[in-house]
Amino acid sequence: MMLEEITSERLGERYYRYTHSSGVTVLLYPMKGYSTVTAQFSVKFGSVDNCAIVNGGKPWHIPDGTAHYLEHKLFESPEKEAFARFAETGASCNAGTSYDSTRYYFSCSANFEKNLEILLDFVQHPYFTPENVEKERGIITQEITMYLDSPAWRVCMELYRGMFADNPVRNDIAGSAESIALITDKLLYDVYDAFYEPSNMYLCIAGGFDMESAIEVCERCLLPGKSMNTVSILPEEPARVITPRVQMSMPLGKTNFALGFKSPAYSGRQMTEEYIYQTLMNDTTVGAATDFYRSMRDSGLINETFESSIMMGRGFFVPAIFGESDDPDRAAEAVRAEYRRRKTEPPTREAFLRAKKYLYGDNIRTFNNVESVAQNLSDAALTGTSAFDYAELAAAADYEGMLQRIENFDEGNCCLSVITPSEE
Amino acid sequence: MMLEEITSERLGERYYRYTHSSGVTVLLYPMKGYSTVTAQFSVKFGSVDNCAIVNGGKPWHIPDGTAHYLEHKLFESPEKEAFARFAETGASCNAGTSYDSTRYYFSCSANFEKNLEILLDFVQHPYFTPENVEKERGIITQEITMYLDSPAWRVCMELYRGMFADNPVRNDIAGSAESIALITDKLLYDVYDAFYEPSNMYLCIAGGFDMESAIEVCERCLLPGKSMNTVSILPEEPARVITPRVQMSMPLGKTNFALGFKSPAYSGRQMTEEYIYQTLMNDTTVGAATDFYRSMRDSGLINETFESSIMMGRGFFVPAIFGESDDPDRAAEAVRAEYRRRKTEPPTREAFLRAKKYLYGDNIRTFNNVESVAQNLSDAALTGTSAFDYAELAAAADYEGMLQRIENFDEGNCCLSVITPSEE
């Protein structure tokens, strides 16, 4: 077993990585003085993975929502289900499925080794039966329905549908009532075998734990797996948005909007780097400290809900603006005009430096929280980067680099998603 | 059964209230077009209730953390525990104990009546045994330990300890290892009988549900209870803080601070009104839109974590400033000096109006979210106010009222809590 040390001189931080004989990547980040530990066991398998080639066969189409359904059912066991086992040790545990990954995790301040055993045990031992899979269908249908009540979620879902022709981010992570009707115990086993193979999995542990004990549990409990040479196939996606505007209505106090810009997708360190530059550009162009923001607020065209963010993952990168406005089209046009104006009247170097300082500070702060560190480790592992790349790239970001991104930003390749209040 | 309608012309909103024959107050807030429902069953019993007189007897001292311990154990049942029952119906359920209340709640988008039955059933049927109470002790000890890893939590806990001589907000909501060692099944039954009496309980339902069905379940499942004439006794608390400064260290990137101002405690509508005026005063004096804030940021004395908030409940009202600073004493002195300066150079009427508009808008927005509405209803019920009082009082707030609060604000009656990074 070869333990590799990853250090950051800049941060005065370090963690350890090794590849278990099974193929699972193990990342260990001991944090002195903390009594809590978080462990995340992650799989590079999310809702966008709805088409795959297994062992060189034909493309296999997987119903939307399968990754999320599998996540729900993995907690089952012929004996005691995982939640009940964690309840006995006092750990809090949960799981989540995103567009491009599935994560299982616990936090505890005692019985760490026992909890780690439970985590590794239940994730590596699927137990799907026709009955327990059937039982879940109503529960997941409800979960899908509940999300439909959230304007923040829907304005974003509709935005993706307006932007993307074929990219599976168009589909709800949990799927639809129609797609999950196709899910069976047999399918879940097939999908588990195809995607939950050790080399596609990452175990990240952060906090106050003993390295040797953690490694001992990994050596004992991580099981060898069989590779099916699974290749996830993302469809080709046209460069332009498919429509400039989508609209719907639902119960709501004020009109919600999301303005998304369709950008090429990135991977690895480049995704982190582009995320950083895009954030700096947003902060200095439409951020809360800009004159643009203040004049928009004063004019009443936007309110304090206005914010920019970047949604990204395997196969997509979407800088977006969210807010409420009585005239979302005018607000969106003002935002686009401001991005255009900045090409000839760029933000000052001082504004850039201030934004960079905040961005860097925000990242540094995450290293003082056990759960954030575990999250950073998983994010990094899943994208093939290091947990310190963000800080390094943020420190290295320069004014000229930002100006170049502003120059190249295609503010016309966008879609406006609007949700108006429904009539009573 | 007498159904009272509570309406707000201003908001165009309404809800219904009735007192069940048992004494439980039931609040029903149907929201058209929503498919989710949330129900909260709340008890006016929290961690500060650590001394009570029952049936006119002698003061009864209750170990710290008992309300929280009881909340954990109420999910137990001789048959299937409540979490498992909700898992079958697909609802998500949880509970929380604060300084002055305990709340049990679920959200669902199907099987509402069944879920409501489960909620009423488990909250009204305690099942404590020596074994199940003992089993929980380690779990709760871990929960207490986990909070100790959170700088945000500790800077606030230490602040309370520096400010209050006798008020039980000095103590962790979950108690300490020592105090919970005293908790037995017998004690939990006694406390349950004393505090979980129907007239001390509030059932709040919001979202897309049928009024008649909800009332039918309440009529059928709410049980009569026996009053023990419980009176919770809060100790007299001196008006001044007990010490101006407290400090500790823990693993941390940058020094954290909290500056709290000791104010008289309020109740009912007055608490809401003072909360509103204090928020307006904070926003216009040290808020992110002020020159003070910008110059503090530019000087590097504070960073973007700087914020003001008000912590309040039965028996306490603490306006406070939180942030990170390399020189927290200088930052705190600058804040106090700014509050002093504002007595002679008050914020402008325009700044007041803008802050008021934001505050009002923030409140309005909560009426579009099922869980927020249920939360508002519970908050209002527990404090003997209406869910619309906040909006009414915010709309009625005037500039002169704010100036008067600024004039009367005792910025010297404060405590600074500091957490420095521990040496490695």
Residue B128 in contact with residue B188, Cβ under 8 Å? yes
> Of B34, B361, B422, which is closest to A251 when you measure between CB atoms?
B34
Mean pLDDT of chain B: 95
Q: Does B14 have pLDDT greater than 60?
A: yes
Q: How far apart are CA A339 and CA B76, in angstroms?
A: 57
Within 10 angstroms of residue B408's Cβ, the number of other Cβ atoms is 8
Which residue of A89, A139, A149 is the best one to mutate when testing the B interface, meaning the one whose CB has the most B CBs within 10 A?
Answer: A149
Rg of chain A, C-alpha, whole Å: 23
For residue A217, what pLDDT is reported?
98
Q: State the pLDDT at residue B361.
A: 86
pLDDT band at residue A242 using 50, 70 and 90 as cut-offs: very high
Residue extents of the structural domains in chain A: 4-232, 245-421
User: Residue A345: which H helix or E strand, with range?
Assistant: none
Q: What is the least distance, in Å, from the CA of B340 to any CA of chain A? A: 27
Which element (helix H / strand E) includes A296? helix A291-299
Q: What does the pLDDT read at residue B423?
A: 73
* Partners of B201 in the β-ladder: B43
State the burial class of residue A130 (Cβ atoms within 10 Å of its Cβ: 0-12, 13-18, 19+). exposed
In terms of C-beta density within 10 A (0-12 exposed, 13-18 middle, 19 or more buried), how is residue B168 classed? buried
Cross-chain CB nearest to B251 (options A31, A110, A288): A31
CATH 3.90.470.20 correct for A4-232: no
- Nearest Cα of chain A lies from the Cα of B230 at a distance, in angstroms, of 33
pLDDT for B270: 96
> Residue B210: how many CB atoms within 10 A of its CB?
12
Q: How far is B33 from chain A (nearest CA, A)?
A: 6
Q: Do B35 and A148 touch (CB under 8 A)?
A: yes
Query: Which residues of chain A make contact with B35, given a CB cutoff of 8 A?
Result: 145-146, 148-149
Which string of b and e fits A199-210 if b means at least 16 CB within 10 Å? ebbbbbbbbbbe
**Residues recorded for chain B:** 424
- Interface test mutation site (partner A, options B14, B32, B109, B322, max chain A beta carbons within 10 A): B109
Q: Which residue of B has its CA nearest to A354?
A: B298
Taking every pair of Cα atoms in chain A, the longest distance, rounded to a whole number of angstroms, is 66
* For chain A, percent of residues with pLDDT exceeding 90: 86
Look up residue A103 and give its two tokens: 């994560």
What whole-number distance in Å separates Cα of residue A306 and Cα of residue A287?
A: 9
Separation between Cα atoms, residue B65 and residue B49, nearest integer Å: 10
Write the single-letter amino acid at B74.
L
Q: How far apart (Å, rounded) are the C-alpha atoms in residues B171 and B307?
A: 24
SS (H, E, C) B94-162: EEEECCCCEEEEEEECCCHHHHHHHHHHHHHCCCCCHHHHHHHHHHHHHHHHHHHCCHHHHHHHHHHHH
Longest dimension (CA), chain B: 66
Environment class of residue A348 by beta-carbon count within 10 Å: exposed (0-12), middle (13-18) or buried (19+)? exposed
**What does each C-alpha distance from A229 to A29, A42, A53, A195, A198 come to in angstroms?**
30, 18, 8, 9, 12
Structure token digits, residue A35: 């009594």
Give the span between the Cα atoms of B284 and B292, in whole angstroms: 10
How close, in Å, is residue A115 to chain B by CA atoms?
A: 13
Whether B411 and B261 have beta carbons less than 8 Å apart is answered as: yes
Residues in A closer than 8 angstroms to B135, CB to CB, are 88
Identify the active-site residue in A71, A197, A338, A411. A71
Range of lowest pLDDT (A94-103, A252-261, B81-90): B81-90
Task: For A66-219, list the strands marked E by DSSP.
Answer: 92-97, 102-108, 201-207
Please tell me the CATH superfamily of domain A245-421, with its number: Metalloenzyme, LuxS/M16 peptidase-like (3.30.830.10)
Give dist(CA A318, CA A263) in Å, integer: 6
**Which chain B residue lies closest to A422 (C-alpha atoms)?**
B33
**Among the listed ranges A80-84, A125-129, A373-377, A411-415, which one has the minimum average pLDDT value?**
A80-84
A138–B90: do the CB atoms touch at under 8 Å? yes
Q: Residue A289 — very low, low, confident or very high, per pLDDT cuts 50/70/90?
A: confident
Contacts of B305 in chain A (CB under 8 A): 365
User: Is 80 exceeded by the pLDDT of residue B242?
Assistant: yes
**Residue A121: pLDDT above 80?**
yes
Please give the pLDDT value at position B87.
Answer: 85
Chain A residues closer than 8 Å to B148 by CB: 35
B58-108 per-position pLDDT tens digit: 999 999 999 999 999 999 999 888 988 998 888 989 999 999 999 999 999
Q: How far is A250 from chain B (nearest CA, A)?
A: 7
Evaluate if residue B183 carries a pLDDT over 60.
yes
A330 has a pLDDT exceeding 70: yes
In the set B5, B9, B13, B71, the catalytic residue is B71
Q: What is the pLDDT of residue A423?
A: 73
Share of residues in chain B with pLDDT > 90 (%): 86
Residue A344 neighbours by CB under 8 Å, 6+ apart: none
- Tell whether the model's pLDDT for residue A342 goes beyond 60: yes
What is the mean pLDDT of the segment spanning A413-422? 96
Band (B395; pLDDT cuts 50, 70, 90):
very high
Q: How far is CA A344 from CA A348, A352, A408, B408, in A?
A: 12, 16, 12, 51
pLDDT of res. A164: 97
| DSSP-based three-state secondary structure for A276 | helix
Residue of B nearest to A351 (CA): B298
Mean pLDDT computed over A274-288: 97
Mean pLDDT, rounded, for A256-260 = 98
B301 dihedral zone (left: phi>0; alpha: psi -120 to 50; beta): alpha
Phi and psi, residue B366, nearest 5°:
-65, -20
Helix (H, G, I), strand (E, B) or coil at B216: helix
Q: Compute the average pLDDT of residues B197-225.
A: 96
In chain B, residues with a C-beta closer than 8 Å to the C-beta of A323 are none
Q: Are B422 and A33 within 8 A, CB to CB? A: yes
User: Has residue A424 got a pLDDT over 60?
Assistant: no
Residue of B nearest to A355 (CA): B304
The residue-averaged pLDDT of B386-393 equals 96
The residue assigned the tokens 């409501």 is: B116
pLDDT band at B21 (very low <50, low <70, confident <90, very high): very high
- For this structure, is A71 an active site residue? yes
pLDDT at A304 (0 to 100): 82
Report, as an integer, the average pLDDT of A289-300: 90
* Crossing angle of the two packed helices A328-344 and A399-408, in degrees rounded to 10: 130
Partner residues linked to A231 by β-bridges:
A53
Q: Residue A146: is its pLDDT beyond 90?
A: no
Rounded to an integer, the average pLDDT of B34-55 is 96
**Are B303 and A139 an interchain contact pair (Cβ–Cβ within 8 Å)?**
no
Task: Using alpha carbons, select from B243, B235, B68 the residue that is nearest to residue B158.
Answer: B243
What's residue A76's pLDDT? 92
Chain B residue whose CA is closest to A139: B90
Please report the pLDDT score of residue A47 as a whole number: 97
Q: How far apart are CA B346 and CA B341, in angstroms?
A: 8
Per the CB < 8 Å rule, is A90 touching B139? yes
Nearest by CB: A145 against B109, B361, B424: B109
d(CA A108, CA A85): 13
Residue B313's pLDDT is what? 95
Distances (CA, A) of B154 to A32, A158, B335, B355, B415: 18, 42, 21, 30, 14
Beta-carbon contacts of residue B186 (< 8 Å; ≥ 6 apart): none
Query: Is residue B132 over pLDDT 90?
Result: yes
Using CB atoms, pick whichever of A109, A304, A367 lies closest to residue B253.
A367
- For A288-321, give one letter per residue: b (16+ CB within 10 A) or e: ebbebbeebbeeebbbebbebebbbbbbbbbbbb
Using a CB-CB cut-off of 8 Å, the residues of chain B touching A88 are 135
Residue B424 has pLDDT above 70, yes or no: no
Domains A4-232 and A245-421 share a fold: yes
Lowest mean pLDDT among B90-99, B200-209, B360-369, B375-384: B360-369
Mean pLDDT, rounded, for A399-416? 97
Give the orientation angle of helix B291-299 with respect to helix B328-344, to 10 degrees.
Answer: 160
Please enumerate residues of B whose Cβ is less than 8 A from a Cβ of A: 31-36, 83, 87-88, 90-91, 107-110, 135, 138-139, 141-143, 145-146, 148-149, 151, 250-254, 288, 303-305, 358, 361-362, 364-365, 367-368, 370, 422, 424
User: Is the ipTM value over 0.85, yes or no?
Assistant: no
Which of A109, A149, A361 faces B370 most closely, judged by CB atoms?
A149
